[in-house]
Structure 1
């Protein structure tokens, strides 16, 4: 991809390096477990050894006598969390039911559920003592076998209560109308649970600064949401809870929920009167911070012999826990991606004796796209048509679900660019036609989409004494380079060089911002930063007095320590004079930015992607190697070509894991995961990652937000897995419908 470099002095679109890059690579960035507080002590969790039942006794004496131990807390002696006394509001998102109330009672809902926390003066002593805690259980028959219980899937409670819920059954045209088509297929697809394993383990330092004042250094994706949750749990005013998450060492949705270990640490800090650090082990990441749920899907599809879709039916059952209903948008893409007159979707969830799932990058849509895009490829093969041509014949110029025009849609441009770059012309219609030695070569593609969402956010902008501008907003950065993008947006809005702008985030004391999730941060917080910068210029204009009375704010720029006109000539005032007019104080504004309701009611707003994969499959071993990928995105204005490209390539590699390596294995006899570390649960490594070529259409969508951005994070992975499995079919003639595609499945297919 040819770099799109700085044009007309604009920072947006530049390949700017991360503003926090040096801090991160030199170790100067502080993550949640790296803060040093006076009197800091360490916590270690004890997990249950049964999947369902109740604790009949728990022996903590040996642990309490162990060296350095300050406290051993269980349901028998834990202070009661005020917010645990009543059930959560059942209408409150994100889930129906009660999130696990740690140390609340003797009930066990899943294997490795926290039943105790040991606090000691060192980590080693805490973990040693945790191993001395012994519990006895009245075990009950548990159910963790998805296949055996699939028929027990039920309509989510929120769908039963609200007829307009997106989780309700959906019909366009005739129900199961695919049956009238001359060419039909029916296929089932399985997807194993994928676990959250970012580089940084989940961790928290909890510190009660006073009886009614709590500070936490926490790995979260929503500092304001976490502040609200803990304030509610402990009956505190929100301003009495401070949440710090300045740096996050990777997250893909695991930081969007507040988990039992966080409350366990807060309880431990309350009991000991000391700051308590708790970091999960890699093994505990499998059971305590959510996962992409195991899912079954059935696609039934019908088409005419000349390649026009007649109908699609999409049924799905997704795993959840017995104590909390987790839902996601597995069938959403089927409703709106293709011009099928008859579409039926049915979504169900299945409660098992496991911990609650949570969103994972491309939540629901990535899972649903595996089934839909695999079926599209299979139908194209059945009618003897190129899969790209089949998609083009069923392309939609308006949203068929909502009957609205798209705000923008440049998916065809993505098709063309990706096909050229992958060498789609080398693909053979007959599977197994391309071969080099023992390797079969194949090409596949998959399409992805995700809502171009925008919420409300606030940002503070201040011109400081040293001539720099400070921006603040309570968002987080889980890896995409949020701070860098905000600096670029501010640079364009102010006319100030990027090295004169600083963006601070990850602190609940800063102005309100939503969680970083759902591909909406640049759309939401970026709009607030842009508006705050424009408001700052307007305030400086007012301080400038008569000299700038008849000037539009967009004509103004901050450069060389002065407020002036973008055009040469005209009045100029130094920052020092402007501060003097402001009584010697920093010039500061705080602005809230909200989306337009009219635009969202009249247009459908989505980002789109298409992924192309070249694979090689070894005829003797069944090994699959992805040798090249091309990922193309219609994501509106691209603020930073470098970090956006990194997001897309990272999503492609995550999709390789989804397709080929990642899948949790549970021993249903004990309800316990067999895959409990990164030796048995395989994530893609460097050897699995091919060159990923990225292409952006880079055309603005000004209906979504004033910057024209649409979001990248989710579409980077949605559609990758089916692109790979479709390529495997093209190479071998074997249709693989169960993820991950391991060598044994290839050989036995």
Structure 2
């Protein structure tokens, strides 16, 4: 039988998700689904102005409404110790400090939480919330990015740190593109794009004792959330427990702790009862971040034979008036192509809006839209195939720091994608390929993201029934983290995956970083690998002389036995080894961290996306008819879940390119698009056949598994691929996202 034989390799298999059945049957428990004794419900009241102060709050009608237990405002809120008062009361929160909810009467953005109604039922809380009336002294607000773009400033962190990646950067001659015989100058605009995961942001806050807090919270970092709330409330970290076992989708908005979370904790403290707070879909547009509106300008110069002379890339991204948000919009420009002269300038613009947050592919996806569109435009000016132009400027070392790549198989991605999309059908002259009423075009876009690895711990426990339980305080926002960790452990232990369980999403587990930045498998996977190796080492010691000289890779745990892969006859039952351990579980916890690899190598994942689009000649309707996404992401642990990651990123890129864009009424500083009827995310009808290809070559410099990360490169480069295909189809270059029919028909 299978579990009595040496375990076949499972890394690379298309293994089904280990938690799939729990999710499809409804057994998986999300943050808002826990039942606690005495649980009550909260509903937030948002401001109706974008800037100013509250002059009065009438909460009497709400307080008298059926089932209402409390109405919490800045006038009666328990004080949060971490919201220390400033010497100057008119000074906004410090740089990097989130909004201090219910701290004072100041209003910094429209729909800012100004009250929380708590009632016995959700319906009672929401009804009463509508009864809260506020009066304001409104100030003139600024929410129009284009009208205020000239106010952009260098981020404070860059002013304080000369080595900051946000500082002004020049390689070679400043604005060296201007000396080139062929020049391009263009501006690109990316409107705000909203996170809209299926699961709404939600929290249950429960003070188990005056100094002991437990939260069931939709977050991407249980340890980071634990630290943040412990600091806010002046508690030891071990007195704060954060549970996020299942997360119903997240694109980065779970990387920050938001005002609604603290509001629920305040209410739970005031009432001494657990409080559940679930945001509405409209509040998801105003209270938990978004991809910031960004303006970019690119100047690009090349020789007539297609060699880049210089690139200047400027960017202004929006942030709030009370917190500086920055992202790596310009990094790809510095390192993707061979160019002797590169200049980048990054600025942020503080507006009377809520704070943005990283969204899948963060600034790199935004920057790639401008860079990869400009590369296509320059190729057109040079009458070169866009892929040929990129190949002529291919880099064999990182031009930003002159370090060799840990690995780079981007040329293989080009070849795989071009063959599958039918790149040979692309016409050099835009608008020359037609199918009835539809213009047909082809485009490509390149993406890259750092192959990052952090420090993590993992615990491995061999239990009495022969199963191995692994624990680490990471989370799973959808990519299948638990599944790939089981696969890694199965290969490391030489035992069937069904005998292994991976537990996550609990701050009491060994430390792990947030799930973000395409680093979870690299970081936590490495810790799982080391924990499994340490577990085998402990069993090896208990096994005695027969196993003393064995190498870790020669030890397997298949069939309830410790045995040698090279000599199956040398074996001992795991039950006997437990007896030698006084009948106790065999338990190890290890820490895995990177070495100095980053000092020697430049480490990135790479992708290239190809799009075939059809544009209706009369209406300007755009249909993406085919997409091919290819990735150089090191070892692919699970081709099914990794393929799903790439497909999901491509669909998100379609939304970025064609449908998603927040619209604000600047008279009131309030979004008009505030639900899924008016804000258009791509649906099944918008998503074509999407093919995925992986180079699947390991990078053992990044980590011992050879992985590099997929989540971000799945979307970086998709939007420009579609924009470039639209140009190839129609001859019209649209530089503002989303590309809607009105822009094509103008």
Normalising by structure 2, what TM-score? 0.98
* 1:575-605 Cα deviation digits (max 9, x unpaired): 11000010000000000000012x1101000
Distance 1:87 1:298, change over 3 A: farther
Whether contact under 8 Å (2:7, 2:495) holds in the other structure is no
Q: What are the residue-to-residue correspondences of 1:607-646 with 2, within 5 Å? A: 607-646=605-644
* 1:595-654 Cα deviation digits (max 9, x unpaired): 012x11010000000000000000111100000000000000000000000000000000
1:547 positional shift:
2.1
Instruction: Tell me what 1:449 maps to.
Output: 448
How many Å separate the matches in 2 of 1:533 and 1:402?
36
How many Å separate the matches in 2 of 1:45 and 1:449?
40
Whether contact under 8 Å (2:620, 2:742) holds in the other structure is yes
Q: What are the residue-to-residue correspondences of 1:671-710 with 2, within 5 Å? A: 671-710=669-708
Instruction: Tell me what 1:595 maps to.
Output: 594
Helix, strand or coil: the match of 2:253? Answer: coil
Whether contact under 8 Å (2:650, 2:714) holds in the other structure is yes
How many Å separate the matches in 1 of 2:558 and 2:435?
60
* 1:675-733 Cα deviation digits (max 9, x unpaired): 01100000000000001100000000000000000000000000000000000000000
Instruction: Tell me what 1:374 maps to.
Output: 373
Helix, strand or coil: the match of 2:643? Answer: helix
How many Å separate the matches in 1 of 2:658 and 2:168?
31
How many Å separate the matches in 2 of 1:214 and 1:390?
57
Q: What are the residue-to-residue correspondences of 1:138-217 with 2, within 5 Å? A: 138-217=137-216
Helix, strand or coil: the match of 1:390? Answer: helix
Helix, strand or coil: the match of 2:567? Answer: coil
1:87 positional shift:
6.9
1:570 positional shift:
4.1
Whether contact under 8 Å (2:7, 2:496) holds in the other structure is no
How many Å separate the matches in 1 of 2:238 and 2:576?
36
How many Å separate the matches in 2 of 1:493 and 1:148?
58
Instruction: Tell me what 2:570 maps to.
Output: 571
Whether contact under 8 Å (1:96, 1:326) holds in the other structure is no
Instruction: Tell me what 1:68 maps to.
Output: 67
* 1:528-572 Cα deviation digits (max 9, x unpaired): 000000000000001112221121222111011000101234421
- The gaps in structure 2 that reach 5 residues or longer are 1-5, 88-93
Count, aligned residues: 735
How many Å separate the matches in 2 of 1:669 and 1:332?
35
1:712 to 679, 701, 710: 710
How many Å separate the matches in 2 of 1:211 and 1:142?
40
Instruction: Tell me what 1:317 maps to.
Output: 316
How many Å separate the matches in 1 of 2:85 and 2:696?
49
Helix, strand or coil: the match of 1:168? Answer: coil
Instruction: Tell me what 1:392 maps to.
Output: 391
How many Å separate the matches in 1 of 2:238 and 2:38?
24
How many Å separate the matches in 2 of 1:650 and 1:553?
37
How many Å separate the matches in 2 of 1:587 and 1:557?
16
- The gaps in structure 1 that reach 5 residues or longer are 1-6, 89-94
Instruction: Tell me what 2:487 maps to.
Output: 488
Instruction: Tell me what 1:651 maps to.
Output: 649
Normalising by structure 1, what TM-score? 0.97
How many Å separate the matches in 2 of 1:286 and 1:627?
30
Distance 1:87 1:244, change over 3 A: farther
Distance 1:13 1:682, change over 3 A: same
Whether contact under 8 Å (2:7, 2:494) holds in the other structure is no
Instruction: Tell me what 1:462 maps to.
Output: 461
Whether contact under 8 Å (1:311, 1:340) holds in the other structure is yes
1:411 positional shift:
0.1
How many Å separate the matches in 2 of 1:8 and 1:693?
31
How many Å separate the matches in 1 of 2:664 and 2:150?
19
How many Å separate the matches in 2 of 1:8 and 1:83?
52
> Higher mean Cα deviation, 95-104 or 332-341?
95-104
Helix, strand or coil: the match of 1:188? Answer: strand
How many Å separate the matches in 2 of 1:651 and 1:57?
46
Distance 1:213 1:299, change over 3 A: same
Whether contact under 8 Å (2:443, 2:610) holds in the other structure is yes
Q: What are the residue-to-residue correspondences of 1:189-588 with 2, within 5 Å? A: 189-588=188-587
How many Å separate the matches in 1 of 2:543 and 2:166?
55
Whether contact under 8 Å (1:286, 1:676) holds in the other structure is yes
1:86 positional shift:
5.3
Helix, strand or coil: the match of 1:305? Answer: coil
Whether contact under 8 Å (2:217, 2:243) holds in the other structure is yes
Instruction: Tell me what 2:54 maps to.
Output: 55
Instruction: Tell me what 1:4 maps to.
Output: none
How many Å separate the matches in 2 of 1:550 and 1:99?
55
How many Å separate the matches in 2 of 1:549 and 1:296?
63
How many Å separate the matches in 2 of 1:297 and 1:388?
23
How many Å separate the matches in 1 of 2:83 and 2:721?
45
